[in-house]
Amino acid sequence: MECEGKRRLVFWKEDWSISLKLSIVILLLLFGLIPMALCSQTILNSVRQSQIEARMVEVQNQAQILSSKMTRTGYFHGEGQDFMDSEIVTMADVYSGRVVVVNQDFRITLDTFHVAENRLNISEEVLRCFQGENSSRLNREKHYFAQTVPVYDGSPGQGIEGVLVVTASTEALTGLTDAVGDKVALFQVILFLVMVILAAAAAVFLLRPFREFQSRLNHVAQGALDTDISGGVYREIRDISDAVGKTIDKLRAVDQSRQEFVSNVSHELKTPITSIRVLADSLMGMGEVPVELYREFMEDISDEIDRESKIIDDLLSLVKMDKSEAELNIAQVNVNTLVEQTLKRLRPIANKRKVELIFESIRDVTADVDEMKLSLAVTNLVENAIKYNVEEGWVRVTLDADHKFFYLKVADSGIGIPEEVQDRIFERFFRVDKARSRETGGSGLGLAITRNVVLMHKGAIKLSSKDGEGSVFTLRIPLNYIA
């Protein structure tokens, strides 16, 4: 079991599994932070843009007011020049910019930076402005904008006698939004930390039912197959627990049948030994015993040893067949010959009981089978048919085939098998009449072995019987064995 101290967040484990908790944390952070970062960036950009646009409109208005005053005062005719110049300088200072006044001859009459006075300015913007077209240009990289505003001569035809070229810095505005941006970034870092904590808490909370489920499964893994693993808050957990529950039920059944099998085996093996002990003890306790009685006891002991040995042999055959790697020695076998030989071997027992053995071969059958195992299965069926028969009864073995299967039917005129136990007849150690089985030296494993042999050949076995009226066991086995 994983100990508490070892628990840590590992995204990719050695076997490339992924930590669900870490995935939840990362997803929550991504879904929370990415939209927030995008949103704040968009808002910051649009605030920055609208501030610059507002500043450009403001500067343009101020330049137009100046232009109107210059028209009214007759600036280009030498009147009120000092007053207007000082207003122009003030405006340049207010917007941290530069104002250049260009007259009709494209000569610069005033430059608030005092570097270009009396020089010519024949820039495209100025030329267009003299044609009555205002211009406004923003340079984002260098953080300034430039505008041109015409100065009219005041005549009814509105002739243009000069141009104001205003350049203003946007650095102060950018600085302002940058300061807001810094605050937003700080806020985002704090929010990120808060979200990490919240996401981790959410992951722990969301995964708690899985942890509980895991601890219940750990109990089961430790062998407590009766632990209740059903239920759970999530439907997914319920589905998993249903599936695991079914597996556990099967495990339980296997465990129970194993226990039953072990106790049956012990019981079966103990019975002949107990009889031997009783016989031996009573023989020893008798003192002087006639040889005949001695021989009789020894014969009984020998019978019990045979019985014990048969049980062990049958058990070994069963265990061998139960192994998943149990192999069949498949070969082309003439089934008619196989059945005839089996009947020949069993004829003495049948004769002893005055039971007639009849073999009815409807057609000659050759099939891919394991000769030894099939012979064992047929022997068990015919032997049972003789053992559980009536005096002067009969056993009829019929062999038939179609294009796919061969059918072997073992019918008898015996005591029959009650309907209510027919389902259990192929179980290990199951006997209808324990005393009779014991009497006939049965191990209770014959039919279990027969069924295993048939299933290994991918065939089927069927019983039809009526109590007191005899039984019919039918085998259906494919002619061609397909692995």
Identity of the residue, 130 or 473, whose beta carbon is nearer to ligand ADP in the bound complex: 473
Q: Which of 58, 419, 433, 439 binds ligand ADP (CB under 6 A)?
A: 433
Locate all alpha helices (DSSP H) within 74-136, ordered by sequence: 81-94, 124-130
Residue 162 as a binder of ligand ADP (CB under 6 A): the answer is no
Closer residue to ligand ADP (CB): 213 or 388: 388
State how far the alpha carbon of 206 is from the alpha carbons of 202, 237, 355, in Å.
6, 12, 75
Query: With respect to ligand ADP, which residue has the nearer C-beta, 280 or 432?
Result: 432
* Position 481 contacts ligand ADP (CB under 6 A): no
Nearest distance, CB of residue 336 and ligand ADP, angstroms: 22
Q: Least distance (Å) from ligand ADP to the CB of residue 363?
A: 25
Among 239, 236, 241, which residue's Cα sits nearest to residue 213? Answer: 241
Interface with ligand ADP (CB under 6 A), residue from 67, 148, 342, 380: 380
The partner residues of 149 in beta bridges, in order of sequence, read 164
Interface segment toward ligand ADP; rule CB under 6 A; list 58-66, 230-238, 381-389, 452-460: 381-389
Residue number with CB closer to ligand ADP (161 or 314):
314
DSSP bridge pairs for 167: 98, 146
Q: Does 71 participate in binding ligand ADP (rule CB under 6 A)? A: no
Q: Taking CB under 6 A as the rule, does residue 386 contact ligand ADP?
A: no
In the sheet that 160-169 helps form, which strands lie side by side, from edge to edge?
108-111, 97-103, 160-169, 144-152, 135-139
d(CA 147, CA 159): 20
* Site track 407-426 with ligand ADP (rule: CB under 6 A), x = hit: -----x-xxxx-------x-
Name the β-bridge partners of 478.
405
Task: Find tokens 């040889």 and name the residue.
Answer: 291
Residue with tokens 């073995």: 397
- What whole-number distance in Å separates Cα of residue 149 and Cα of residue 183? 38
The rounded distance, in Å, linking the Cα atoms of 102 and 121 is 7
Q: Which stretch binds ligand ADP (CB under 6 A): 22-30, 214-222, 359-367, 431-439?
A: 431-439
Place of tokens 């059918």: 407
Report the C-alpha gap between 234 and 212 in whole angstroms: 12
- Our finding on whether 62 is near ligand ADP (CB under 6 A) is no
**Is residue 475 near ligand ADP by the rule CB under 6 A?**
no
CB 430 within 8 A of CB 417: no
| From candidates 289, 432, 460, 479, binder to ligand ADP by CB under 6 A | 432
Nearer to ligand ADP, 33 or 432 (CB): 432
Cβ(310)–Cβ(441) under 8 Å? yes
CB of 447 to ligand ADP, least distance (A): 3
Give CA–CA dist 285/277, Å, rounded: 12
Q: Binding string to ligand ADP for residues 337 to 376, with x set by CB under 6 A, is what?
A: ----------------------------------------
Tell me: does residue 379 bind ligand ADP (CB under 6 A).
no
Report CA-CA distances (Å) from 297 to 269, 290, 309: 20, 11, 18
Q: How far, in Å, CA of 8 to CA of 342, rounded? A: 68
Min dist CB 323 to ligand ADP, Å, is 20
Touching ligand ADP, residues 437-466 (CB under 6 A): 437, 442-448
28/417 with CB nearer ligand ADP: 417
CB distance 121 to 164 below 8 Å: no
The one among 67, 147, 167, 384 contacting ligand ADP by CB under 6 A = 384
Q: What residue is closest to ligand ADP based on CB? A: 442
Question: Under the rule (CB under 6 A), what is the footprint of ligand ADP?
Answer: 380, 384-385, 388, 412, 414-417, 425, 430-433, 437, 442-448, 471
